[in-house]
Structure 1
Amino acid sequence: MTMIPFPTTENLILWACSAIALLAVVFFRRSVRHRRHKRKQQSARRVLERIKTLPGFPQKINYLRKIDPFVFEELLLEGFEAHGFRTIRNKRYTGDGGIDGQVIIGKYRYLIQAKRYRGHIALQHVQEFEKLLKRHNCRGLFCHTGKTGAGSKSVSIASERMEIISGQRLIDLLTPGSSFTIATAPQTMMKRTAATLETSTIVKDAGKEHRYHES
């Protein structure tokens, strides 16, 4: 029977030093991510205050299109929190699988995808988000600063899980005290129509009609 030699004192010290070094690297990386998140959150709060000072919708939406994309993600979460909703932040900004945060509305969990567009949003992005929601068996909010084309609107209207938040609705989300709301009735009970009258889409929810602004 072959005897396994007992580690020497030098080997034990080397292993201990390696373990300590590894833990130090892990702690440092977590600390860096934590500080980065704090900076982005602070920037998002400053953006919220800045939006209040801008005179109208065009100035506000154009300002949002210029901010840092990670700050925009934090800005959405700050907006939901300002309306009294509980949010769940990611531990990192990259490698999130297309999920930029989560919000709890009523008894439902919504996945958030944040997109800063200047023009029309990409239909492919909307379709991919819809597939993501199906995989997670969850609802979702596609929040963007651009324009919603006919194809993207059709995907959203036909979806049983997804809502698009853009235009004035996005500004309302980022304005504490506004009338921003999210439908919380089971999506299977919601009958969505493709009729769009100017900037309002009619949604029939259990026989009741509501109107909400959508770009």
Structure 2
Amino acid sequence: MIADWAIWLVIVGAVLLFWCLRGSRIPVKHRWRRRQARIMCRQLQGHDRSQPPAVVFARLRHMDPLAFEELLLECFERRAIHVVRNRRYTGEGGIDGEVRICGWVWLVQAKRYADTIRPEHVEAFAQLCAAKSMPGLFIHTGRTGPSTRTLLNRHPHIQIISGDQLLALIRVEPVLVRGKRI
């Protein structure tokens, strides 16, 4: 009788363990990058909040590019914005994630630039968003040059978040998306 009870206990324990672990199908590299993103997010929202923008941008540019993507998605999540992460980092066609803002699903592309962003990168992202009939957020650490600003006039469904708006996103301060504060 005790043996039957022990067998059932083991079976129930195994089922519970399987049930709990099935949510952790996140690959180890993804978990590492998410952890790095959470650490950076806590630092930039906490004791490093008053760092000069140049220092913050230098830190962002030196992050692992995939951890930078995770940092941005983490910042959206901290604003209670629904985030959809990709199952893998490569082969997603230039989409680094999706966020739901004001009833719209926005495609997100993150770039760590040290210099002026390349208009062809924004154009390729704009074409991808147009093909999916979805607006896009192009978030970057560089400068937005005049040729890219002209390009954005042809693609009103694309919004760039950089500079002060990027700092505001990270520091959980108001950010304007399509004229609405999030």
TM-score, normalisation: structure 1:
0.68
Structure with higher RCO (Cα < 8 A, 6+ apart): 2
Indicate which of 138, 144, 147 corresponds to 2:143.
147
- Looking at structure 1, the residues matched to 51 and 156 of structure 2 have their Cα atoms a distance apart, in angstroms, of 36
Indicate which of 13, 30, 37 corresponds to 1:44.
37
Count of aligned pairs between the two proteins: 155
Indicate which of 58, 61, 72 corresponds to 1:62.
58
Q: What SS class does the counterpart of residue 167 from structure 2 fall into? A: helix
Q: What SS class does the counterpart of residue 114 from structure 1 fall into? A: strand
Name the counterpart of 1:85. Answer: 81
Q: Which 4+ runs in 1 deviate beyond 3 A? A: none
Q: Which structure has the highest strand share of the two?
A: 1
Q: CA deviation at 1:83?
A: 1.4
Q: What SS class does the counterpart of residue 72 from structure 1 fall into? A: helix
Q: What SS class does the counterpart of residue 84 from structure 1 fall into? A: coil
Q: What SS class does the counterpart of residue 27 from structure 2 fall into? A: helix
- Looking at structure 2, the residues matched to 41 and 157 of structure 1 have their Cα atoms a distance apart, in angstroms, of 34
Q: Deviations over 1:31-86 (max 9, x none)?
A: 5x522211111110111122241521111111111100000000110111111210
Percent of aligned pairs with the same amino acid: 35
Matched, 1:108 2:123: no
Indicate which of 125, 131, 142 corresponds to 2:127.
131
Structure 1, unpaired ranges of 5+: 1-29, 186-209, 211-215
Q: What SS class does the counterpart of residue 111 from structure 1 fall into? A: strand
Q: What SS class does the counterpart of residue 176 from structure 2 fall into? A: coil
- Looking at structure 2, the residues matched to 85 and 157 of structure 1 have their Cα atoms a distance apart, in angstroms, of 27
Give yes or no for contact 1:106–1:184 (8 Å, CA) kept in 2. no
- Looking at structure 2, the residues matched to 184 and 62 of structure 1 have their Cα atoms a distance apart, in angstroms, of 28
Q: CA deviation at 1:99?
A: 0.3
Quick one: which amino acid aligns to residue 37 of structure 1? H
Q: CA deviation at 1:184?
A: 6.7
TM-score, normalisation: structure 2:
0.80
Matched, 1:34 2:41: no
Q: Deviations over 1:138-189 (max 9, x none)?
A: 000000001111111112233121000101101111112x11231278xxxx
CA RMSD in angstroms comes to 1.9
Give yes or no for contact 1:105–1:184 (8 Å, CA) kept in 2. no
Q: Which structure has the highest helix share of the two?
A: 2
